Amino acid sequence: MHWWQSGVIYQIYPRSFQDTNGDGVGDLKGIAARLPYLVELGVDAIWLSPIFVSPMADFGYDIADYTGIDPLFGTLDDFDALLGRAHALGLKVLLDFVPNHTSNRHPWFAESRVSRQSAKREWYIWRNGASEGGPPNNWLSEFGGSAWEYDAASDQYFYHAFLREQPDLNWRNPAVRAAMHDVMRFWLDRGVDGFRVDVIWHLIKDEAFRDNPPNPDFSDGEPAYRALLPLYSTDRPEVHEVVRELRAVIDEFPDRVLIGEVYLPVEKLAAYYGDNLTGAHLPFNFALIETPWRADAIASLIDRYENSLPPGAWPNWVLGNHDRPRLASRIGAEQARVAAMLLLTLPGTPFLYYGDELGMTQAAIPPGRIRDPWGINVPGLGRDGCRTPMPWAASALAGFSTAEPWLPLADDSGPCNVESAGADPASLLNLYRKLLALRRAHPALAEGSYRPVAQSGNVLAYERVLASERLLMALNFGSKTENTDAISSTCRGTWLLSSAVDRPGGPAAGPLVLRPHEGVIISLG
Ligand code: GLC
């Protein structure tokens, strides 16, 4: 069992974790100072959203120097200190690798842009306009508008799947691959434990640049990007060779991990594990974010996912990230407790987004303070609301900074903070701590095989089994008391944990009655 299989990975959005230099933006020293919190929480690894030199058009997902730390976050020495401290505390550190595009201020792009004859011209995707005028084809930017930007100096267009400040690299060019592999080696040599790879399914585009077809399911009011199916601009068959090469670099170093960001239906994730598992160790499974929060929908999702995984492939589960609305706002505070139990007991590696362990809600950002370029381009789609500062204490500015933070604190930062939640036995934070401790004490939760038990009405029940240990999870997705006859007959054992704090532990003997919004873990036998 590898650490990235049994462990829990915690995503940090560095701008919003902890500021130490009083500029209202989080930094590496701040993350280092808060590592003990993460150890106490009980996670195994941290993944940092980008910390590299960047003009911050997309808050670090537009990189101008892949091997330099942006001064906003600190220095390379600060990074080495953070890495050393994390390792000393037993925490792995993953970086965000953004290979699909650079910043338009990256020296490679500056050189590429000089003329059609530039030695780096083929490092990016330059095309002539369509014969009838206008951009080369109909491809759209995920952040709104055409994905092509006209460059008058050379009378050609360059492709950008995201902002025009994020030109896409040409991954068909072996020189680009070699340069990016060296970037990976730079960080792996320094000791990082792996990468989360940004938009890995975007890396290769159709060689013939065919138009994308219309999306028959598109309805008015949806983001314009959805008007077309990104058939030719993403998820091309040749991408798997690129992924395999990234994995080969990872495998030059012992015990590192490759995680790929893939927003595709679970059935399509299998291919990203690669032939004979030579691709990504963990292609992200975002389905829990997108599936309706109902026991039946989640039961069938688990089933579909389990059945689509190639033999030997390790699953993973994500409930939130820096691109999607906060979990607690999506499903409500009571179900956030059930979600914690689900995330930490399903088979596969759980990913936890900073602040979700506190039940942070989606912040309403006043129009004047919107920072996300997507939210500026396409009103309503902004991601600032899930990126607000981590509330550490009830004090002014929540202990995050001494200056006004770059984004306002979420409205809930009063009672919802680490200090108060830590002291409250009934808090979501303490439920997360108990669940994470339970995972360590009972390897069946991390390593055991999965067996569906029952799904009826609002109840979902399943087992995890390892050697002689059998653990039963029963989760109530509804707001009513549930008598779970289907489960009760098998339910003899010991109560390990309930999401309701006032449930005593001790022997369990049917019938199992679940309270509203309650999840329980019972050791059977
Ligand atoms: C990924 C990142 C997102 C970013 C985009 C472009 O989806 O998670 O934050 O804006 O890629 O790099």
Task: Please identify, by atom number, the ligand 1 atom nearest to the C-alpha of residue 161.
Answer: 6
Give a yes or no: residue 224 inside a domain.
Answer: no
Give a yes or no: residue 501 inside a domain.
Answer: yes
Neighbours of 241 (CB within 10 A): 14
- Catalytic residue flag (residue 252): yes
CB under 8 Å to 423, separation ≥6 — which residues? none
In this structure, which residue's CA is closest to atom 5 in ligand 1?
61
| Span from the CA of 325 to the centroid of ligand 1 (angstroms) | 14
Task: Please identify, by atom number, the ligand 1 atom nearest to the C-alpha of residue 100.
Answer: 12
Strand duo 126-127 + 148-151: pairing: unpaired
Give a yes or no: residue 169 inside a domain.
Answer: no
DSSP letter string, 108-175? HHHHHHH-TT-TTGGGB-EEPPPTTSSSSS--B-TTSSBSEEEETTTTEEEE-SS-TTSPBB-TTSHH
- pLDDT confidence tier of residue 79, bands split at 50, 70 and 90: very high
| Span from the CA of 58 to the centroid of ligand 1 (angstroms) | 8
Q: Does residue 394 share a domain with residue 351?
A: yes
Report pLDDT for 487.
74
Instruction: Point out the domain boundary residue: 435, 459, 476.
Output: 435
The sign of the dihedral angle between the CA atoms of 291, 268, 316, 462 is positive
| 122: CATH | 3.90.400.10
Q: Does residue 44 share a domain with residue 147?
A: no
Give a yes or no: residue 117 inside a domain.
Answer: yes
H helical segments located in 309-389: 327-331, 333-343, 373-377
Coil, strand or helix: which one is 2?
coil
Q: Does residue 270 share a domain with residue 147?
A: no
Query: Which of 142, 169, 199 most suits a substitution to test ligand 1, by most atoms within 8 Å of the C-beta?
Result: 199
| Span from the CA of 277 to the centroid of ligand 1 (angstroms) | 25
Report pLDDT for 378.
84
The tens digit of pLDDT for each residue in 464-494 reads 999 999 999 999 999 999 988 767 666 678 9
Residue 255 pLDDT exceeds 70? yes
Q: Does residue 111 share a domain with residue 43?
A: no
Neighbours of 483 (CB within 10 A): 12
Coil, strand or helix: which one is 282?
strand
Q: Does residue 347 share a domain with residue 307?
A: yes
Q: Does residue 329 share a domain with residue 379?
A: yes
Question: What is the arithmetic mean of pLDDT over 291-312?
Answer: 98
Task: Please identify, by atom number, the ligand 1 atom nearest to the C-alpha of residue 58.
Answer: 10
Q: Does residue 269 share a domain with residue 414?
A: yes
Task: Please identify, by atom number, the ligand 1 atom nearest to the C-alpha of residue 322.
Answer: 9
In this structure, which residue's CA is closest to atom 3 in ligand 1?
323
Containing structural domain, residue 520? 449-524
Report pLDDT for 414.
59
In this structure, which residue's CA is closest to atom 12 in ligand 1?
61
Residue 413 pLDDT exceeds 70? no
Report pLDDT for 446.
97
Query: Which of 162, 168, 351 most suits a substitution to test ligand 1, by most atoms within 8 Å of the C-beta?
Result: 162
Q: Does residue 22 share a domain with residue 115?
A: no
| 461: CATH | 2.60.40.1180
Report pLDDT for 484.
80
Residue from 252, 275, 303, 485 carrying the catalytic annotation: 252
Strand duo 65-69 + 92-97: pairing: unpaired
The tens digit of pLDDT for each residue in 38-52 reads 999 999 999 999 999
In this structure, which residue's CA is closest to atom 9 in ligand 1?
323
**Rounded CA gap, 268 and 235, in Å?**
9
Q: Does residue 95 share a domain with residue 145?
A: no
**Rounded CA gap, 101 and 87, in Å?**
30
Strand duo 45-48 + 92-97: pairing: parallel
Query: Which of 61, 286, 289, 322 most suits a substitution to test ligand 1, by most atoms within 8 Å of the C-beta?
Result: 61
Task: Please identify, by atom number, the ligand 1 atom nearest to the C-alpha of residue 263.
Answer: 7
Question: What is the arithmetic mean of pLDDT over 137-160?
Answer: 97
The tens digit of pLDDT for each residue in 363-378 reads 999 989 999 999 988 8
Give a yes or no: residue 242 inside a domain.
Answer: no
Q: Does residue 281 share a domain with residue 145?
A: no
| Span from the CA of 298 to the centroid of ligand 1 (angstroms) | 26
| Span from the CA of 61 to the centroid of ligand 1 (angstroms) | 6
- pLDDT confidence tier of residue 412, bands split at 50, 70 and 90: low
Task: Please identify, by atom number, the ligand 1 atom nearest to the C-alpha of residue 163.
Answer: 6
pTM reported for the whole predicted model = 0.97
Report pLDDT for 304.
98
Q: Which residue has the higher pLDDT, 378 or 305?
A: 305
26: nearest Cα among 63, 66, 59: 59
Give a yes or no: residue 246 inside a domain.
Answer: no
In this structure, which residue's CA is closest to atom 7 in ligand 1?
199
Task: Please identify, by atom number, the ligand 1 atom nearest to the C-alpha of residue 61.
Answer: 12
Give a yes or no: residue 229 inside a domain.
Answer: no
| Span from the CA of 374 to the centroid of ligand 1 (angstroms) | 10
Give a yes or no: residue 245 inside a domain.
Answer: no
- pLDDT confidence tier of residue 187, bands split at 50, 70 and 90: very high
The tens digit of pLDDT for each residue in 192-202 reads 999 999 999 99
Residue from 27, 44, 58, 198 carrying the catalytic annotation: 198
- In whole numbers, what is the pLDDT of the chain averaged over residues? 96
Report pLDDT for 380.
83
Report pLDDT for 279.
98
| 315: CATH | 3.20.20.80
Judge if the upstream peptide bond of residue 511 is cis by omega within 30 degrees of 0. yes
Residue 289 pLDDT exceeds 90? yes
The tens digit of pLDDT for each residue in 262-272 reads 999 999 999 99
| Span from the CA of 509 to the centroid of ligand 1 (angstroms) | 49
Q: Does residue 79 share a domain with residue 59?
A: yes
* Residue owning tokens 């025009």: 164
Report pLDDT for 489.
62
Question: What is the arithmetic mean of pLDDT over 392-410?
Answer: 95
201 neighbors 271 (Cβ within 8 angstroms): no
In this structure, which residue's CA is closest to atom 4 in ligand 1?
61
| Span from the CA of 15 to the centroid of ligand 1 (angstroms) | 15
Ligand 1 binding residues, C-beta < 6 A: 58, 61, 98, 162, 198-199, 261, 322-323
Q: How many domains is the chain built from?
A: 3
The tens digit of pLDDT for each residue in 318-377 reads 999 999 999 999 999 999 999 999 999 999 999 999 999 999 999 999 989 999 999 988
* Residue owning tokens 């979501």: 428
Q: Does residue 364 share a domain with residue 286?
A: yes
**Rounded CA gap, 170 and 309, in Å?**
30
Q: Which backbone phi and psi does 126 adopt, to 5 degrees?
A: -105, 135
